[in-house]
A and B are shown apart, each in its own frame.
Chain A
Amino acid sequence: MSENDFNRRDFLKVLGAGGTAVALSGCGYTSIQNGEETVTSYVTPPSWEIPSIANYYNSTCAQCDAGCNIMVRVREGRALKAEGNASSPINRGKMCGLGQAGIQAHYNPDRVQKPLQNGKEISWDDALKLIGERLNGVKGEEIAFITGGMSGHAQALLGNYMDALGSKNRFAYEAVSPAVVRAANKKAYGVSMPRYRIDKAKVVVSFGADFLGAWVSPVYFSQQYAQFRKGTRPEGRGVLVQIEPKMTLTGANADRWIAVRPGTEGILALGLINALGSAGMKVPADIAAAAKDYTPERVGTDTGVPFDQINKLAALLKDRTPSLVLAGGAAEGYAHGSQNAIAIAMLNHVLGNVGKTVEAAAGVPMSQFAPVVGNRSNLAAVNEGLAAGKYKVVFTYAANPVYSAPAAMKFKDNFGKAGFKVALAQYLDETAKAADLVLPLDSAMEEWATMVPEYMAAPEGGYAESYAQLSFRQPVMNRLYPDTRGVGDILLALLKQRRADEYKGFDDFYAYLRSNVLKNKVAYGAGAKDDDDVFWNDTVSKGIVPLKGVAQKLANKASLAGVSLPGPAAADDSYPLRLIPAVSASIRDGRNANEPWLQESPDPLTTVVWDSWVEIHPKTAAKLGIVEGDVVEVTSRSGSIKAQAYLFPGLHPDAVSVPVGYGHEAMGRYAKGVGANVFGMLDPVFDKETGELALNETRVKITKTGERVIIVKEEGPVGGSQAGRKKISVKVSAAKVDLSKEV
């Protein structure tokens, strides 16, 4: 009947076989099994644990420097998921995606498991002996210790260790840090990190502070922002204006996003002060005099923001007080970044916000635990010393300068000049790879630590001027690899080599921490007669110790003396575009790039995953003949990268933007080779006052390589365009918008 031998019966047979194959190769097994898997019983069951029922342990997040308090769900001895600690003033029971991925920092298969000497596994005894030998006869000034931001008891131990070594060369370095804003705040407000009250402000004008995404303490600010946006608030629903050359997550949430010409943020701020004066606001005479040349017309020409827009913004600010003006990454990344930041901070003085929405924060009473924050000028200093061959022994911890220093600094070569390099590392990142000895660190789920957040949040339900806190991190599960140690353990072991008598009573960092806390328990809020065990258990189980902090004083006056703002930068014909390195909410400065969840979660604005991209304004792209997916080469005077082009209207046409944190050459399977490293190609231009690397000062040109790829992204092929539906969302030119009527 059939010409074909392959009849229905055969077809069903094949189908059946295929089905079985699918069933067998599926996830796990799909039918009842007997006697195949082993079920391992406890030898001695822990009394607090019932199989299949989770326990929660309070701890502190280590994914960024905000220091959110978390609680980790632990079942059958395995950490499963982190949640926010509801009694934390910082994150109030919430958490961000970056924090969620912390569990992947712990289970990461690429962790360092044993001490490594030039790549070979050695024992801890040998490793410590080796350090002792190499330090023998080395003078204090020949030793350097490079760290990331640190605080708490480990910071105190490091201080003691540096004393014991007789060295003052401790360098705290963070690849992306608000160092310029800190310095400007110190000048303008007298406090380097005041408390911002976004929740109390009627208008927030943010000059590139991505407080919802990646700036300082985003989870805390997000909750303030939620209050700020509530119409039922006594102040009414707040208005957010974001001024920046590249749209951030905060910019995308703003009522009005203003694309300012990169570098002219300070000019715009002074223009606003001048416009406020013209609108009848009382401006202190010296400030008014300094700002009088910044007429809306001139400022409009310099910044590219239409002058009636400036007047409207000034009218809005005059009309609605208190307001709040923030300066963030986009405003500070210039050679005149400090000037920009001070000009912007001055707006708060003029508007009378200081003391209302800019409040003094409290410091911790124990100054040895206070956060030591990093900046780039420390990197420049240590790099200079390394280049001169000054250091014989260098330690690194929680910083990856080999990756994040601009190539022009030649940090890697200079680092190689040090005779003996010890990296305290959880992964073999670029810096650990370049080290002679790698000491494996515990993950944040395995270590004991205390932490003091740099941005001291205020507890809910009222502003407590003197509130400060010490956060505890405790091991929520046993070590995955028996030979890793906490940074506190390592510092203690190193200290024992120098001051054996002082530290011999402590077997490990836990013993040191416990005894130290109990010795000072009255300072931590315990009664002198309270039982030690009860107090300690209570402290650890809560994870937060509220402290009566040292109140800082706000400066109620500030001046613009010494502030001089350069005009808009001259056009550069060979490198016509300005590179804005973007800090995304998940990858940040790249220290967590090896956590697949972060690579996998789409960038909030472009939805790109698992790769770098170059944001180009559609007009600029049209001029250069670039379409989405073109692989382009971005070249600066100091280097170049190749990445896929993404056309993005949320960008000043003179700028291109590439996210930082990608393009690792090491750091394990999830980070290595993904995207391109934009840090390497930055020009070594520094802020004149603080010495901070001016991230936005690099000029680039773009050339097509001829290759084209399909961008892997969440949004559909039409992307952010309206696909011909322009009538739905009508474009209104910025000049036609009256902010105070619109919102």
Chain B
Amino acid sequence: MHFSLRLFTLLAGLSLAAASYAADTAPKLTTPDQLGPEVQQPIEFPHFRHAGDEKDGGMQINCMYCHTYARRSMVAGIPPVQKCIGCHQNLPSVRETPRIKTLFEYWDAKKPIPWKKVHDLPDFVRFNHERHIKRFYFQQDRPYQEVCGYCHGDVKTMTVARRQKPLTMGWCASCHQKDHPVSATSSETGHGPNDCFTCHK
């Protein structure tokens, strides 16, 4: 009697643990966990107009169309002014709006726009965009908005981007410790590197 009760308790405990683990792993992917301060930018760039869903009046442009270096390099890259102009010179409908006028002022003066860094890690941390995009976007074939959203939140609903996640080491590690499938088709899993030297070098 004693024995079966004990077994029962153990099994119940285990399944409960498993359930809570599963609940834990269900990602709150793009929701804000810890909002950073609002940042004043030289141009109040409407991410929702460019990347937002069609039903919300967005154009569903891929993040990496503008942040073009993210898949090629450590840094995502702030889009060059030329990139903005590439489309906007063909969009007379918004040409006279205040933000676009400011944009063209920069372009005509051939001056870069002094954007403020929103996601600015300390100097001793090396975060590599390319690695993360390779893993989640190309290997696991997840939607790009979800992949970028792991760290940047649901940018497609924002105007000026605002930090959504803590971006602390503990927060990075919380994801690195989880098992992720290594590719879209594989049942094999693996977790992110846990070596100090990977980020601190």
Q: Specify whether A and B are partners.
A: yes
Looking at the assembled complex, report how far the CB atom of A404 sits from the nearest CB atom of chain B, in whole angstroms: 42
Which segment, of A22-30, A119-127, A471-479, A630-638, faces chain B? A22-30
Interface size class of B (residues with CB under 8 A): 35 or more
B73 contact from A34, A40, A50, Cβ within 8 A: A50
Contacts of A52 in B (CB 8 A): 69, 73-75
Residues in A with CB closer than 8 Å to B106 are 43
A50 to B114, CA, bound (A): 19
Which residues of A sit under 8 angstroms from B118, Cβ to Cβ?
34-35
Q: Are A43 and B107 in contact (CB under 8 A)?
A: yes
Instruction: Tell me if B117 counts as interface (CB < 8 A to partner A).
Output: yes
Binds A, one of B14-22, B56-64, B77-85, B139-147: B77-85
Task: Mark interface residues in A448-471 (1 if CB within 8 Å of B CB, else 0).
Answer: 000000000000000000000000
- Pick the residue among B37, B107, B110, B116 that contacts A37 (CB under 8 A): B116
CA distance A27 to B124 in the complex (A): 9
Chain B CB within 8 A of A33 CB? yes
Query: A41-B81, A42-B82, A51-B69 known; A31 and B122 CB under 8 Å?
Result: yes
Are B82 and A45 in touch, CB under 8 angstroms?
Answer: yes
In the complex, what residues of B have CB within 8 A of residue A45's CB?
80, 82-83
Residue of B nearest to A45 (CB): B80
Does A32 make an interface contact (CB < 8 A)?
A: yes
Q: How far is the CB of B197 from chain A (nearest CB, A)?
A: 18
Q: Tell me if B's interface is mostly helix, strand, loop or mixed.
A: loop
The residue among A35, A42, A50, A53 with the most chain B CB atoms within 10 A of its own CB is: A35
A-B contacts, CB under 8 A, total: 95
Nearest Cβ on chain A to B60's Cβ, whole angstroms: 23
Q: Are A43 and B117 in contact (CB-based, < 8 A)?
A: no
Contact with B along A30-62 (1 / 0, CB 8 A): 111111111111111100001111000000000
Are the CB atoms of B122 and A29 closer together than 8 Å?
yes
Among candidates B81, B83, B110, B120, residue contacting A36 with C-beta atoms closer than 8 Å: B120
Bound state CA distance, A52 and B119, in angstroms? Answer: 17
Q: Is B24 interfacial (CB-CB < 8 Å)?
A: no
Q: Are A39 and B168 in contact (CB under 8 A)?
A: no
The prevalent SS among residues of A at the interface is loop
User: Are B114 and A28 within 8 A (Cβ)?
Assistant: no
Asked whether, in the complex, the Cβ of A32 is within 8 Å of the Cβ of B107, the reply is no
Determine the distance from Cα of A580 to Cα of B111 in the docked complex, in whole angstroms.
58
Closest A residue by C-beta to B168:
A32
B190 within 8 Å of A by Cβ? no
Q: Are A32 and B114 in contact, with the CB atoms below 8 A?
A: no
Residues of B within 8 A of A (CB): 36-40, 69, 72-75, 77-83, 106-107, 110-124, 163, 166-168
Q: Could you tell me which A residues sit within 8 Å of B by CB distance? A: 27-45, 50-53
Since A40-B114, A41-B113, A51-B74 are in contact, a sample of 8 more A-B pairs with Cβ atoms closer than 8 Å, ordered by chain A residue number, is A34-B39, A35-B40, A36-B117, A38-B114, A40-B115, A42-B112, A43-B81, A50-B77
- What are 20 A-B contacts with C-beta separation under 8 Å? A31-B122, A32-B120, A34-B120, A35-B40, A35-B116, A35-B117, A37-B120, A38-B117, A41-B81, A41-B112, A41-B115, A42-B80, A42-B81, A43-B81, A43-B106, A43-B112, A44-B82, A52-B73, A53-B72, A53-B74
